[in-house]
Amino acid sequence: MTIIRPYGDTTGDGMVQLSFTLPIPHDKRAEGAALQLAGKMGMDPAMLVHAKQMGDGFTFFVVYGKVNHLVDTEKVVVVERDFPLLSAKEVNAVIKRRLRRRLNVVGACIGTDAHTVGIDAILNLKGIAGEKGLEYYRELSVTNMGAQVSVPDLVETAREQKADAVLVSQVVTQRDAHLQNTRAMSAAFREALPAGKRPLLIVGGPRFDELMAGELGVDRIFTRGTTPREVASYLVHAIVGPSDHPAATLDSTEGHL
């Protein structure tokens, strides 16, 4: 089946739940405005299931209703993982055998972004979700610059460390700050270093669209749910080249790091 409908109470009933905020105090008129918006978005009928004042002059709503829109799964475009998922042992072995030096990684949160949870989860030894971060890999040399790093400082550190890859986490997304910062970063690296000398540029964050890598001037975008093991495997694939390790297949399921 390629054509599907949303599911709420029964299969194919088209019911969806939607939350949003309107810049209006909570009263009966505000609730009517929320239902009007839901109706204009194609929810018919729409039911208000939650409304709560959020500070002065703002109300948060949850509405529930039926839509007639269909989804064609054959037309869904996503970025599939196109590299083998390796274990820590495999990553180290491939780098040591084929690169014959440690692979240098520099990571940071740039601009005014002070949210280091994402970059720390990927880089720090403790890692996330049972997987250790890139600092655990003996054949990776990791420099974590932390939060609120300026683009010029990032470029200079990458140059000093002879970085093979630069990992940037962006959580702050107001007014598309994550997109602006990423474009500024990629432009700075293009200006500072010739094509053959530039490190791999990787960005990650919950609001990025993986399909925008080319538009933003980066090599790869990782979104929510990415693990250190995925990033390490991608680094090996993109920098060292396809692995000839017998366990390095696209459906490798060897345990966590």
Strand partners, 141: 104
* Residue among 52, 89, 126, 162 flagged as catalytic: 126
Closest CA to 119 of 181, 169, 172, 170: 169
| Residues near 187 by beta carbon (within 8 Å), at least 6 away in sequence | 217
User: Among this protein's residues, is 126 annotated catalytic?
Assistant: yes
Indicate which residues carry an active-site annotation.
126
